[in-house]
């Protein structure tokens, strides 16, 4: 049995958000209400206000609900909504953002079910799946890697077999349920982005509800159906069109001990990558990353939960770059650059001479005229091809900044 302890703020969104009209801010805390609750507490004597409120709801944008009533604080202050509504919501989110009311931004909702805030089992399983796949790729020989990339860009085929059938996926025998927080330190943070390829370096993105450091989940199991895996590996599971094409080497990692080892190895490499990144951009987070790395343990590893992880960097590219950097350079040009620069003729020029930068201002320019903007971007990408993606997200408020999503997978003490 395990539980998760939050090390740095975790945000796993629903895709939905509270508008400024649904947020009440007071004394560095925020309470959230849905619009149906607010309507119930409208002062019935203020008919004009009711009409304005309904109109503002119908015509609201994503960032402003009304030119007159910008947020719930204003509605209560003007006695349009009765203060009794505050008694209906006991949970208060810590909010150390001086500009929270001024900007009137939406606040992205954390995941909630009937029992409160939770982490979806699919999120936990997704990280485990990536960690296993990462270790699997990292342990392939160079010849196996070359064969993998030979004429087949769809890496999922490695897991699902030639026919890309879900029935072939060994991870369907790995089960992790949703886990609720039993200790939930609620906090509102500004999610920011920092980029190597930006002069300013950072910009405000959005406000989010987050589980702060020290929050803990209930106990849960990482269940592996060993019997079904054994039958699949031995070819004893059959479908109408024949025996399932099962990746036996990948199934080898579906063991609780190996799972925690894979998480440990994957997280170590992720943190090393981020340390390298912030040593270039600025050392602000380096000491914090080293602290988190010291918490990583084979039996109780660190995981990183949330969105926005780079596909080539984290699952495939990072594994290859660690073991075969020269081969990574080759697949970088073949798989990544076409997504950055579309002209096929330019790609043919680059593939013939990767390191001759002068071609960027001669042959390519003759073919395409003024490509200064794209060429400038390409030169940056070439220089930093082993630091991809070139941006990172972090959380911020008036008390400081923190990296997102680090949790510790803790064993339950019997």
Distance from C-alpha of 80 to C-alpha of 76, rounded to nearest angstrom: 6
In what order do the strands lie in the sheet containing 406-411?
112-113, 116-119, 179-183, 216-217, 2-6, 406-411, 302-304
Q: Is residue 11 part of a domain?
A: no
349 and 214 assigned to the same domain: no
Q: Which domain holds residue 340?
A: 323-383
Q: Please state the pTM of the whole predicted model.
A: 0.80
Q: Is residue 256 part of a domain?
A: yes
103, 134, 153 - which closes a domain: 103
The band of 252, judged by pLDDT with boundaries at 50, 70 and 90, is confident
Q: What percentage of residues in the chain have a pLDDT greater than 70?
A: 65
Q: Please tell me the number of Cα atoms within 13 Å of 37 on its side-chain side.
A: 17
103, 129, 148 - which closes a domain: 103
Question: Are 158 and 316 in contact, with CB atoms under 8 Å apart?
Answer: no
Q: Is 151 left (phi over 0), alpha (psi -120 to 50) or beta?
A: left
139 and 200 assigned to the same domain: yes
Query: What number of residues does the chain have?
Result: 414
Strands in 149-300 per DSSP E:
174-175, 179-183, 186-195, 202-211, 216-217, 223-224, 238-239, 242-243
Q: Is residue 7 part of a domain?
A: no
Q: Is residue 136 part of a domain?
A: yes
248 and 365 assigned to the same domain: no
298 and 406 assigned to the same domain: yes
Res 37: pLDDT = 85
Could you tell me which of 87, 93, 129 has the C-alpha nearest to residue 110? 93
Res 357: pLDDT = 44
200 vs 80, residue with greater confidence:
80
Q: What's the rounded mean pLDDT across residues 334-356?
A: 50
39 and 166 assigned to the same domain: no
Q: What's the rounded mean pLDDT across residues 219-231?
A: 84
Q: Which of 18-22, 322-326, 394-398 has the lowest mean pLDDT?
A: 322-326
299 and 339 assigned to the same domain: no
337 and 253 assigned to the same domain: no
Distance from C-alpha of 108 to C-alpha of 9, rounded to nearest angstrom: 14
How far the first Cα of the chain sits from its last, in Å, is 9
200 and 234 assigned to the same domain: yes
- Tell me the per-residue pLDDT of 269-286, one tens digit each, with 9 for 90 and over: 989 988 888 887 766 789
Distance from C-alpha of 266 to C-alpha of 409, rounded to nearest angstrom: 14
Q: Which of 155-169, 180-194, 242-256, 281-295 has the lowest mean pLDDT?
A: 155-169
The band of 321, judged by pLDDT with boundaries at 50, 70 and 90, is confident
Residue carrying structure tokens 């024949």: 242
Question: Are 180 and 217 in contact, with CB atoms under 8 Å apart?
Answer: yes
pLDDT at 161 over 70: no
Structural domains of the chain, count: 3
Continuous segment of H or E residues that includes residue 30: strand 29-32
Q: Is residue 13 part of a domain?
A: no
- Tell me the per-residue pLDDT of 346-374, one tens digit each, with 9 for 90 and over: 555 555 544 444 444 455 455 444 445 55
Q: Is residue 99 part of a domain?
A: yes
- Tell me the per-residue pLDDT of 86-135, one tens digit each, with 9 for 90 and over: 999 888 899 999 888 777 788 999 998 989 899 999 999 999 988 998 89
268 and 396 assigned to the same domain: yes
Could you tell me which of 219, 290, 210, 303 has the C-alpha nearest to residue 260? 303
Q: What percentage of residues in the chain have a pLDDT greater than 90?
A: 29
């Amino acid at each position: 049995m395990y539980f998760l302890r939050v090390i740095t703020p975790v945000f796993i969104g629903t895709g939905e958000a509270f508008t400024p009209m649904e947020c009440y801010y007071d004394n560095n805390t925020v309470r959230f209400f849905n619009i149906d609750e607010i309507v119930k507490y409208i002062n019935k004597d203020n008919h004009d206000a009711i009409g304005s409120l309904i109109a503002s709801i119908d015509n609201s944008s994503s960032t402003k609900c009304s030119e007159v009533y910008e947020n719930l604080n204003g509605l209560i202050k003007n006695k349009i909504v009765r203060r009794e509504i505050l008694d209906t919501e006991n949970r208060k989110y810590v909010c150390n953002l001086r500009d929270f009311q001024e900007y009137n931004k939406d606040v992205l909702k954390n995941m909630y079910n009937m029992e409160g805030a939770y982490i979806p089992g699919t999120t936990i399983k997704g990280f485990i799946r990536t960690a296993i796949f990462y270790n699997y790729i990292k342990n392939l020989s160079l010849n196996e890697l070359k064969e993998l990339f030979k004429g087949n860009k769809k890496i999922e085929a490695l897991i699902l077999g030639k026919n890309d059938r879900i029935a072939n996926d060994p991870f369907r025998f790995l089960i992790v349920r949703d886990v609720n927080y039993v200790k939930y330190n609620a906090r509102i943070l500004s999610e920011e982005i920092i980029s190597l390829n930006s002069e300013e370096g950072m910009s405000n993105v959005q406000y989010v509800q987050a589980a702060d450091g020290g929050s803990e989940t209930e106990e849960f199991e990482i269940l592996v159906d060993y019997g079904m895996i054994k039958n699949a590996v031995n070819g004893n599971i059959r479908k109408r069109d024949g025996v399932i094409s099962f990746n036996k080497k990948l199934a080898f990692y579906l063991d609780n001990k190996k799972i925690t080892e894979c998480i440990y190895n994957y997280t170590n490499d992720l943190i090393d990558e981020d340390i390298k990144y912030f040593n270039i951009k600025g050392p602000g987070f380096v000491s914090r990353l080293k602290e988190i790395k010291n918490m990583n343990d084979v039996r109780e590893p660190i995981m990183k939960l949330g969105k926005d992880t780079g596909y080539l960097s984290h699952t495939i590219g990072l594994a290859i770059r660690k073991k075969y950097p020269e081969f990574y350079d080759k697949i970088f040009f073949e798989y990544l650059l076409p997504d950055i620069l579309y002209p096929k003729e330019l790609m043919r020029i680059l593939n013939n001479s990767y390191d001759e930068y002068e071609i960027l201002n001669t042959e390519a320019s003759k073919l395409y005229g003024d490509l200064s903007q794209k060429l400038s971007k390409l030169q940056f990408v070439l220089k930093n091809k082993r630091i991809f993606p070139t941006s990172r997200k972090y959380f911020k408020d008036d008390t400081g900044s923190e990296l997102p999503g680090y949790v510790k997978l803790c064993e339950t003490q019997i």
